[in-house]
Amino acid sequence: MIIDDFFGFIKKEALFTKKDKILVAVSGGVDSIVLCELMHQSKFKFGIAHCNFGLRGKESDGDEKFVRNLAKKYGVPFYSKRFETEKYASDNKISIQMAARELRYNWFEEIRKKEKYYYIATAHHQNDVVETVLMNLIKGTGIAGLHGILPKKDYLTRPLLFANREEIEAFAMEHKLKFREDSSNASDKYMRNKIRHQIIPVMKEINPSLEKTFSENIESVKEVEKIVNKYVEDSNACKSFYVISDSGNFHGISIELLKDEPYKLTVLSNYLLEKGFRFDVIKEIINSLENPVVGKQFYSTTHIALIDRLAILFTERKDTIKYEFDIYNDTKEICYTYNKLLFTSKSKNKIGESLTTPNLFHLDKGKLIFPLKIRLWRNGDFFYPLGMTKKKKISDFLIDAKLNIYEKEHLFVVTSGTDIVCVLGHRIDNRYKITDDTKKVFTIHFKEK
């Protein structure tokens, strides 16, 4: 029986226990409805979370109402949120599907922490795994992409991965469960639907037990992945990954060590595929090491690889990250790229002997105009470096500091009104240093995440 297989799979994969409080993601489709019923019959403690992405008008609102009533039926907590999905996708220059995914999982994690759920459960099943593996193969993938969806990753669990779609639908029919049909599932507009409707039926004609075969193959892939990961961890080239800049913005790998690595494609792919680099681009990077050209860049959708003198440097693309933030009087923390800024305000006599350093800035709070702003430096920017009474262009300051291309392009400054009060990771402005007249000190602690 599916209920026995469900409980057995949860126990085998150590997904969660009867003591744990589980947040179940429910769209209203047959998969998530069956997951709820199985959670109920197995007497697990759970709540229901539903995302209204507003992409199908009244149909989306109908889904939300349906799932709300489902929570009432089971007598469990219900959480819902309406998202401006299209705006989020446009603002972040990503697809609607990617936007929905980011919004969904970020919100689930917020609820999990706030409401003290231990795990999140989604209704992915064996057919989803087949589709995901095929999508990865079509787009290009490493070994990790060949195992598809894992039963458990951090706080995310998939307790239906033991079952295929036919078994799930049969259970729904047997128990007369009502569910909602998503009209977008019938469209071949999306890659996953095209694979589901056009490719998989042909594959199932050849192998009717396609899902079972994929599950068995995935078990083998997982074993191979463990072997590869162990090799990569032990590789001298892998161990050479390090933070290049003092500010912690850039990671790199030694060109010399990578040249000596016999399985350099495997080692580099293990690091770069997750950063969006295509396999052919990774091979180009490796081929370029024969005669390295300093300054040559390679791009993925989210990152850039730069050939420097001694290393390949990696960083996020500027057009994929937010690069302007406000700092209010009560702001405690801001994170961006690989960095974190911590802010504190104290009276002058409470900062002890702490001195201003490249990662710890003490500013005269009485001279600051809030909100301060963090932004990338611009041509024409200038400041008065600590210890100097004459202004200096940021561009000249960076030349003197001998920064590489990435460090220059990703350098942030903090402004108060029209003044630059500090260049993060380097120097404060002389006009905002602590003096005998300072009463309140505003401290910026600049550190790697």
Concatenated DSSP letters for 100-141? HHHHHHHHHHHHHHHTT-SEEE----HHHHHHHHHHHHHH--
What pLDDT, in 10s, does the model give residues 282-292?
888 998 888 88
* Cα(290)–Cα(42) distance, integer angstroms: 60
**Least confident window among 47-61, 252-266, 424-438:** 252-266
Residue 341 — φ and ψ, nearest 5°?
-115, 130
Query: If you average pLDDT over residues 394-421, what whole number do you get?
Result: 86
* Cα(36)–Cα(71) distance, integer angstroms: 9
**Least confident window among 9-13, 287-291, 317-321:** 317-321
The reported pLDDT for the residue numbered 289 is 86
Q: Are 393 and 381 in contact (CB under 8 A)?
A: yes
Q: Which of 251, 297, 248, 293 is nearest to 277 (CA)?
A: 297
Q: Are 349 and 292 in contact (CB under 8 A)?
A: no
The reported pLDDT for the residue numbered 85 is 87
What percent of the chain is predicted at pLDDT more than 70? 92
Q: Tokens 């920064």 belong to which residue?
A: 403
Mean pLDDT of the chain: 86
The reported pLDDT for the residue numbered 248 is 46
Confidence of residue 352 (pLDDT cuts 50, 70, 90): low
* Cα(306)–Cα(294) distance, integer angstroms: 8
The reported pLDDT for the residue numbered 173 is 95
Confidence of residue 177 (pLDDT cuts 50, 70, 90): very high
C-alpha dihedral, 357 to 360 to 365 to 369, nearest 10°? 100
Q: Which residues contact 440 (CB under 8 A, 6 or more apart)?
A: 345, 346, 347, 348, 364, 365, 366
The reported pLDDT for the residue numbered 338 is 59
Query: If you average pLDDT over residues 322-348, what whole number do you get?
Result: 79
Q: Which among 164-168, 186-190, 248-252 has the top mean pLDDT?
A: 164-168
Confidence of residue 293 (pLDDT cuts 50, 70, 90): confident
The reported pLDDT for the residue numbered 8 is 94
Q: Which among 79-83, 132-136, 316-320, 442-446 has the top mean pLDDT?
A: 79-83
- Fill in the DSSP letter of residue 195: I
E-assigned strand segments in 112-228: 119-121, 152-153, 156-157
Alpha-carbon distances, residue 352 vs 346, 365, 367 (angstroms): 10, 16, 21
Query: If you average pLDDT over residues 153-172, what whole number do you get?
Result: 94
Does 123 have pLDDT greater than 90? yes
Classified as helix, coil or strand, 67 is: helix
Does 448 have pLDDT greater than 70? no
The reported pLDDT for the residue numbered 379 is 87
Confidence of residue 423 (pLDDT cuts 50, 70, 90): very high
130 burial via Cβ count (<10 Å: 0-12, 13-18, 19+): buried
Q: Are 247 and 339 in contact (CB under 8 A)?
A: yes
Q: Which of 55, 54, 56, 77 is nearest to 67 (CA)?
A: 77
Phi-psi region of 366 (alpha: psi -120 to 50; beta: other; left: phi over 0): alpha
The reported pLDDT for the residue numbered 54 is 83
| Omega prior to 371 cis, within 30 of 0 | yes
* Cα(27)–Cα(5) distance, integer angstroms: 23
The reported pLDDT for the residue numbered 69 is 96
Q: Which two tokens stand for residue 273?
A: 């595929």
What percent of the chain is predicted at pLDDT more than 90? 41
Angle made by CA atoms 187, 190, 191, in degrees to the nearest 5: 125
Amino acid letter, 277: F
Query: If you average pLDDT over residues 12-21, what whole number do you get?
Result: 94
What pLDDT, in 10s, does the model give residues 215-250?
889 889 888 888 888 887 787 766 665 544 444 456
Query: Per DSSP, what are the bridge partners of residue 374?
Result: 325, 414
Does 412 have pLDDT greater than 50? yes
Does 280 have pLDDT greater than 50? yes
How is the chain split among helix, strand and coil, in percent rounded to 5?
45, 20, 35
The reported pLDDT for the residue numbered 60 is 87
Radius of gyration of the chain (CA): 27
The reported pLDDT for the residue numbered 222 is 86
277 burial via Cβ count (<10 Å: 0-12, 13-18, 19+): buried
Query: If you average pLDDT over residues 20-39, what whole number do you get?
Result: 96
* Cα(242)–Cα(250) distance, integer angstroms: 8
Classified as helix, coil or strand, 440 is: strand
Pairing relationship of beta strands 382-383 and 392-393 according to DSSP bridges: antiparallel
Question: What is the dihedral sign for C-alpha 307, 313, 314, 318?
Answer: negative
Confidence of residue 322 (pLDDT cuts 50, 70, 90): low
**Least confident window among 167-171, 295-299, 306-310, 335-339:** 335-339
Does 125 have pLDDT greater than 80? yes
Does 144 have pLDDT greater than 70? yes
Confidence of residue 47 (pLDDT cuts 50, 70, 90): very high
Phi-psi region of 327 (alpha: psi -120 to 50; beta: other; left: phi over 0): beta
Query: If you average pLDDT over residues 437-444, what whole number do you get?
Result: 91
Does 358 have pLDDT greater than 80? no
The reported pLDDT for the residue numbered 1 is 79
Pairing relationship of beta strands 412-416 and 382-383 according to DSSP bridges: unpaired
